Structure 1
């Protein structure tokens, strides 16, 4: 553990420490409150940056951790000509950093600095590709698509930043993919000098910025493979950068989705149809008047559909949208040979193309087809070691499939990518510990065993601000009376606070069932019931919850974390069940098996700590400021009847508890 006396070791660390003191520069900011935990965290971040060490910090709610890492990161970046990359899980936090915290620091830091939001390049329109699409519209687009293209062309002449977020109506993806920025098409060389190339302009801002904010998903896409990261002499995305992960408790989950293999039926089909679509008779092979390519692309689509039909017939989706594949050669490989031929045809056609953009477009599709071919081969042969393989239903109506493989144990992978020598990474979140101050559980899971741990408490007075109710009388969930009792206790406790409640579920089906049964109760009590999954996006539900009095929000997974509702609007968080992950996804199942193979106990070494972290997240929704008050209700008696219940209780903030 780091003790504060050890932290104050250099002029830079002392300067940062002073910045957060009772009379330091930050005290001039509006609503400033001196918080010793914030000061300690900032000094620890400064020391880690200066010594080029990795650091993992749990900082309780209310510490003000974003300012505690931003201030030292900005000062260090400027003084050492480096870039601070700040990665978050949610858009909410990105917006807080860019529109609240960074503007505060622009006023009070003694230096000038630039901050920029990094978006994936496919968010930006490329004017060269737009121009090319307009020229070849007849060969590439159907009537309605050409109309959409025209709308985008008009928007392109007036938009400020040329990104999707500036469009009032989401564009047709088929059209957007042909005009957005692409890695090998919209390059520094081809578009760098064009003042209307929105991606290249954004890239210039990123190169000039001292602080870059992005999300974990984009970061892991850009980091590339562990091999690519290991080969770097310094930095992660730029030669001179360091990373700060906020909401670091989500890193393992996000990295699992990005590191590994994913071949999408829809994506591969779209790629081939961009070469030639038999239904519309449009595509790049039509532009090039290549009859052999047209024929090959049409046949490839038929073979692709047959291949995925075979995959579907061998997959059992009764348990959900994912089916685990345990053996090699799930189906015969009837497709990679066809993809090789298609790739070779593209290479031939490229030789004849004298137009540079057209050439680049064709080469890009050649690369995508090659990547898909490699992915299918690895999936069928199961040639990636220590990976779990599964087929997943995708699309709005689950009409497509994807083939997936991911490393079961991410620790060695992330150790090579993130926690390596000649690079610095700071990870922070309000919930990283599951009972030990050295944060050992999380550090072992993400390969951060060499990183320095630091646990800081919350400045809130939970004894006065929060009360917890545990309903011991709840029947077992398998009992016939369970749902009626669940409804009765939810009704009892939401009346206690006049609504203003989150009711958090672990199962979407249970939530829908209870919501349906309780509709009448909420109408009678003049409470406003909001249910996740009814079509409204999460941000819209939150706005309604905050603005409409006597609201009760039923939510599942995404409402347990990353949601901030300070004040009286949220005075009650009801946890319907302890959030144990059901081992129904191939990845979780494989992780549990791995623990057992290594001679461990899957429940105590994985299921229990994961559930404790999730419960801490859910409980953390309640008290967001020093003036908040409210109740936590736990409608799962296992927290007081089972031996492991003590581990949950010890991990929660200390507050008065009433068992009913």
Structure 2
């Protein structure tokens, strides 16, 4: 029998179970017991939040599950854990605490035998015992020491292999009949023939025809409504072209949910798992992957306390991971959140400090393996940001794709807006300083500066050595630790901090209002004051002094590659090539900063929008800087990506963004190409008139938080859960959640909330999907990044009309895009995306409720034709939601 009790807390109460049974207790008593006695918990961060004691700790079952079953996912709820372990699902709150004890016993019993993830467990357990992991005594008591030393992690991971460069794809034409046959094989025998999907596949095939005009791809813009079957529709011609041309098609997405869906759908193409791993590769930015050198540093003492425990659990996972992806891969999204902010981001390469072949784990590196696998793959599943970064920074030129599919194409504009922008801020500047100088003062860790990373270059090449020294000296003019406090105290150090102080002063002078305390401030970079103009000159001189040695060093490294000295073996060459790429990225960044500073006191560039900003959160400043965005970011996207491609398909259910085809062409980059794109449009086949309804509630006063919370609570109760609540402001989301969570819990309706629950967004959606009684509140990330078909999502509630935030950037684009018509297009697109969460399958049914009496009738075209739309009171909306065919009677449940 386990010697420890189990504690469960929900919004409706607290229960504790031990060998004598289960009883309800108060929150205060629960905190006292947890402080005095080790207790078994499920997600200590969530339990602590519900008890009002965020630092609560204990024997967290999720940590034990991650140890026993690394790289295996379980929904982090009592129901999800019970399902993962084959236990009976508890049917009430007072049955959960005893089940947690049973779950602990089941996991510990696994350790007493042989199981697939046995290798490495004993070694990890010894390390965790030394770290005083609460589970360690129970775990080590169950594990027998292996007869032979374990092959674990660094010795267990396979090495990648280089291959000859892939030849350029052959020029082929895919017959329409072949596309139709491939689509039929993907959909399966006996599948219902969908004419819209066949037409879509035929249109998509045009993107794979031979290119006829230089610098102009065969571009296809396709708006295909939900239910058309876009994924299989474009995989049919894409897979055929990849096979016949021996080339790779890059399928780019915006959300991780679609990446997971694509990986699932490609099983139809390649049923054999080994072949699928070879043919289909997922690629993400390097900041998503575990860095083995950072992990080694963490395991050898670089991490302390709870962060060190996380490093051990991540090491267990890494030994069994398919690809080392820490963000959206097979690392459970809930694992890093269990350790709050202790270390997970430090295990990836977020600062561009990779030493490439100089790393002892280079041949086993997850990032390098993904790059090489994608060079030989048929389908590469990527994301918009990575595609644009690779193209703009000249990465992997030898394997540059010639064919792209941009799914979720309505996000291409926003992704390009982020990618091709520039920001001279304190946070960005201090990162470049650290990248160049390395650790300063008493700083610890693996971080190394330019001099340490390129010490052999400095000793071999005198001019290169001088460039490194000059760069390090110049970097000391950038902000350093404590810069925000110095600026707030009126005592900036160095020319860049002085510039940021002037930015802060002018921003507060022009943008501060009584009602914006604690939120970001911004103002146009126009008519600068004397302080800002005077600070610009020294700041520009400091940046000029920095960029010169960076450019010189890059040229010296290129010369070294050409000369090929005796000491430069293959690993050294790879390391120098990586250094050149990193130097190019930093040099481009500093050059963009110089261009931005030149704008101060000078004429405006009509291609750009420039502004000053002070970023704040909950009353605390966290960054200050100057910002520059393209007025039309589709232009650099077209130049960097589309013009180098031979064919591209841009597709989405809302591609026209609430406007017409001219809008789609303008936002996709097509307007900057020599020949016009092909267009395709197919409405959704779903019967929205019979399966959905839109209700606009007219009697919930805007700005009345109590009334808003009451409306959400009543609608969720009427629907019996299964509600996705969407907000445009985090403050209102938190306010509503605080008012209704306990009330709903008493009715057996769990409520989750983004920005409230200490759980990552992906896991929140997994929990929501798993339990039809649960509801989920969120902001933009949930408006079009959620795919929850079936009964678990039957009601979508929006707090009001999703008008765009009146920022400097929005004002400039609004002026250029037609004024109020531009706003209307944005709102229609947001409404269409939100409504699109509701009906995901032909048999789905549900309601969309907008709590906005001022909803203009002209915006109702955002909803699919035929969808019933009516303006009603809240009482009427509640009555109609209660009458939905999918609504089930309320009963007490305990899965939160």
Per the normalisation by structure 2, the TM-score is 0.60
75 and 323 in structure 1: CA distance in 2 versus 1, 3 angstrom threshold: same
Is the CA contact 1:41–1:68 (under 8 Å) kept in the aligned structure 2? yes
Using the TM superposition, give the Cα deviation of residue 205 of structure 1 relative to its aligned residue in structure 2, in angstroms.
0.8
1:622 counterpart = 2:838: yes
Task: Kindly report which structure 2 residues correspond to 1:384-463, keeping only aligned pairs within 5 A, or say none.
Answer: 385-393=606-614, 398-420=621-643, 423-433=646-656, 439-449=661-671, 450-463=676-689
Write the distance in 2 (CA, Å) between the matches of 1:130 and 1:502: 38
Query: Aligned with 1:569: secondary structure?
Result: coil
Using the TM superposition, give the Cα deviation of residue 323 of structure 1 relative to its aligned residue in structure 2, in angstroms.
1.8
Task: Kindly report which structure 2 residues correspond to 1:317-396, keeping only aligned pairs within 5 A, or say none.
Answer: 318=512, 320-321=519-520, 323-327=522-526, 331-341=535-545, 367=584, 370-382=587-599, 385-393=606-614
Query: Aligned with 2:202: secondary structure?
Result: helix
453 and 344 in structure 1: CA distance in 2 versus 1, 3 angstrom threshold: closer
Is the CA contact 1:121–1:181 (under 8 Å) kept in the aligned structure 2? no
Write the distance in 1 (CA, Å) between the matches of 2:318 and 2:753: 40
| 2:695 matched residue in structure 1 | 469
Query: Aligned with 2:670: secondary structure?
Result: coil
Write the distance in 2 (CA, Å) between the matches of 1:162 and 1:435: 39
| 1:259 matched residue in structure 2 | 420
Write the distance in 1 (CA, Å) between the matches of 2:838 and 2:288: 35
| 2:199 matched residue in structure 1 | 40
16 and 236 in structure 1: CA distance in 2 versus 1, 3 angstrom threshold: farther
Is the CA contact 1:121–1:199 (under 8 Å) kept in the aligned structure 2? yes
77 and 193 in structure 1: CA distance in 2 versus 1, 3 angstrom threshold: farther
Using the TM superposition, give the Cα deviation of residue 60 of structure 1 relative to its aligned residue in structure 2, in angstroms.
1.0
Deviates more, 1:209-218 or 1:300-309: 300-309
Unaligned runs of 5+ in 1: 1-9, 230-234, 596-600
Write the distance in 1 (CA, Å) between the matches of 2:595 and 2:469: 32
| 1:28 matched residue in structure 2 | 188
Write the distance in 1 (CA, Å) between the matches of 2:743 and 2:719: 15
1:12 counterpart = 2:172: no
Using the TM superposition, give the Cα deviation of residue 426 of structure 1 relative to its aligned residue in structure 2, in angstroms.
0.5
Deviates more, 1:272-281 or 1:37-46: 272-281
| 1:6 matched residue in structure 2 | none
Write the distance in 2 (CA, Å) between the matches of 1:285 and 1:573: 52
Write the distance in 2 (CA, Å) between the matches of 1:483 and 1:146: 39
Using the TM superposition, give the Cα deviation of residue 548 of structure 1 relative to its aligned residue in structure 2, in angstroms.
3.5
Using the TM superposition, give the Cα deviation of residue 56 of structure 1 relative to its aligned residue in structure 2, in angstroms.
0.9
**Residues 238-289 of structure 1, C-alpha deviation per residue, up to 9 Å, x if partnerless?**
4552111111111111110101323442343233235254422775478569
Using the TM superposition, give the Cα deviation of residue 39 of structure 1 relative to its aligned residue in structure 2, in angstroms.
1.1
Larger radius of gyration: 2
| 1:232 matched residue in structure 2 | none
Query: Aligned with 2:654: secondary structure?
Result: coil
The Cα RMSD (Å) is 4.4
Using the TM superposition, give the Cα deviation of residue 417 of structure 1 relative to its aligned residue in structure 2, in angstroms.
3.9
Is the CA contact 2:727–2:799 (under 8 Å) kept in the aligned structure 1? yes
308 and 157 in structure 1: CA distance in 2 versus 1, 3 angstrom threshold: same
Query: Aligned with 2:538: secondary structure?
Result: coil
Deviates more, 1:333-342 or 1:423-432: 333-342
Q: Which among 821, 828, 833 is matched to residue 612 of structure 1?
A: 828
Task: Kindly report which structure 2 residues correspond to 1:165-176, keeping only aligned pairs within 5 A, or say none.
Answer: 171=343, 176=348
| 2:402 matched residue in structure 1 | 241
Is the CA contact 2:403–2:645 (under 8 Å) kept in the aligned structure 1? no
| 1:533 matched residue in structure 2 | 755
Is the CA contact 1:54–1:452 (under 8 Å) kept in the aligned structure 2? yes
Using the TM superposition, give the Cα deviation of residue 457 of structure 1 relative to its aligned residue in structure 2, in angstroms.
1.4
| 2:864 matched residue in structure 1 | 652
Aligned residues: 613
| 2:847 matched residue in structure 1 | 631
Unaligned runs of 5+ in 2: 1-172, 212-217, 337-341, 459-467, 481-492, 873-896
96 and 650 in structure 1: CA distance in 2 versus 1, 3 angstrom threshold: closer
